Amino acid sequence: MTSTATPSDIISAIKAVVADAPRPVHLHEPYFAGNEAAYVTSCIDDGWVSSVGAFVDRFERDLASYCGAKYAAVMVNGTCAIHAALETLGIGEGDEVLIPSLTFVATANAVVHAGATPHFVEAETTSLGMDPVALQNYLHRIAAKENGKAVNKLTGRTIAALMPVHIFGHPCQVAALQHIAQEWNLHFLEDATEALGSTVGGSRVGSTHTAMFSFNGNKIITTGGGGAVTTNDEQFYRRLKHRTTTAKQPHAWAFGHDEVAFNYRMPNLNAALGCAQLEQLPRLLLAKRALAARYRAAFENIAGAHILPEPSGTTSNYWLVTLMTHGLDLESLLQQLHDEKLLCRPIWQPLHTLPMYAHHPRSDLAVTEQLARSIINLPSSVRLGLPYV
């Protein structure tokens, strides 16, 4: 086949998969089919609705155990989880944090909340995550090691951390990136807000490095709003927990606090929802995998458009199914999809093109910009995949 897909080819392929789902077909809807109502109701019945309660402790245990991490600290949202993790590592004023430009704006905002500077680096086309080869070449050009620290020769600031993102649930090249972090003595932590349930080399994301998750309403499971940090580092965990729970010294009645800290605690109501959603996660993952397979088949014979497969050696949670297009005007395609009540979305505007991040340090971002012109996300709700499980 030589001609490229037309918008109507793409619309027909999507319609074949979503079939008679009610219109509009949203991008991603939450799915509650288990103990959600029962657990939330029990909080209301017994009065434990706020920042202390049995579901908070249980959600932390269940999440750590699911991910294969020693510890999990749950918080009010994913942005605060990233902020708290950076802040607890001591990253702040005078530091730069390497993050992709091709990510949701919260990744960069959390870096700024910590007082540090987001430094944008290039993406690669198999995972949409950070390109380790481009990153290594770039660091050798712009950075130097001084007293064991990586210093940006152009800004004079310390490059303190490397924080890749698993875009749409597809794990990025973690091993190669971690290797770079070791070489340059950078903290390594994963923005895994989109990747709960994804695996790398057979291990769940969140099991090997400090990772941050989000349970916003559009993520694979939701607590209404919520986030978490998983880690295997006990000291880091204790400090993180302390700093995100008002630095209160445990005591039955006294208000002893030993530093200026945050109130980032997840309420018990939200944790109750989280416990029930986590019970459902294995089934949700099956539905999303089946949905992605149906989309892949539907696009198999359409030239110039394909579903992005999970990178080899990984499994994706297929949070959002990603269509790679070539040579299409995405604005007009998205308009036609919305006219058909198929509420597809483009990928985010690369962060270095947003006004508040336009003058931040960055590498060459040609691949990022090309990807931003090629990608749309297809309706990916669990409900759409269930008929295919």
Smallest gap from residue 211 Cβ to ligand PLP (A): 12
Token duo for residue 235: 């000291």
Q: Which is nearer to ligand PLP, 51 or 152 (CB)?
A: 51
Reference 348, options 84, 108, 45; nearest CA is 108
Among 169, 227, 311, 361, binds ligand PLP (CB under 6 A): 227
- Residue nearer to ligand PLP on the CB measure, 188 or 299: 188
Nearer to ligand PLP, 302 or 382 (CB): 382
Q: Other CB atoms closer than 10 Å to residue 341's CB: what's the count?
A: 13
Please report, as residue ranges, which positions from 183 to 202 form the binding site for ligand PLP (by CB under 6 A).
191, 193-194
Q: What is the secondary structure of 304-322 as a DSSP string?
A: TEEEPPPPTTEE---SSEE
Minimum Å gap between C-beta 336 and ligand PLP is: 26
- Gap between the Cα atoms of 388 and 337, Å rounded: 23
What CA dihedral angle connects 227, 232, 234 and 239, to 10 degrees?
A: -30
Nearer to ligand PLP, 193 or 245 (CB): 193
Task: Give the nearest distance from C-beta 182 to ligand PLP in angstroms.
Answer: 24
Angle, vertex CA 380, rays to CA 375 and CA 386, nearest 5: 150
Which of residues 222 and 374 has its CB atom nearest to ligand PLP in the complex?
222
Interacting positions 100-129 with ligand PLP (CB under 6 A): 103-104, 106-107
Q: Which CB sits closer to ligand PLP, 105 or 176?
A: 105
Minimum Å gap between C-beta 105 and ligand PLP is 8
Fill in the per-residue mask, 240 to 259: x = in contact with ligand PLP (CB under 6 A), - = not in contact. Answer: --------------------
Count of residues near ligand PLP by CB under 6 A: 14
Cα–Cα distances in Å, from 127 out to 202, 307, 311, 315, 322? 17, 12, 6, 11, 11
Considering the complex, state which of residue 13 and residue 165 has its C-beta at the smaller distance from ligand PLP: 165
Q: How far is the CB of 220 from ligand PLP (least distance, A)?
A: 11
The Cα–Cα gap between 134 and 131 comes to 5
Q: To the nearest whole angstrom, how small is the minimum distance from the Cβ of residue 99 to ligand PLP? A: 9
Residue that has been written with the tokens 């950070």 in this structure:
130
Q: Please, which residues bridge with residue 346 across strands?
A: 376
User: Rounded distance, CA 278 to CA 27, Å?
Assistant: 21
CB atoms within 10 A of CB 69: 24
Quick check: 350 binds ligand PLP (CB under 6 A)?
Answer: no
Q: Considering only residues 198, 210, 214, 270, which one is a binding residue for ligand PLP as defined by CB under 6 A?
A: 214
| Sign of the C-alpha dihedral computed for residues 60, 66, 67 and 68 taken in this order | positive
Residue 239, amino acid: R
Bridge partner list, 75? 227, 265
When CB distances to ligand PLP are compared, the closest residue is 78
Residue 146: strand pairing partners:
149
Cβ closer to ligand PLP: 117 or 152?
117
Residues that bind ligand PLP (CB under 6 A): 77-79, 103-104, 106-107, 165, 191, 193-194, 214, 216, 227
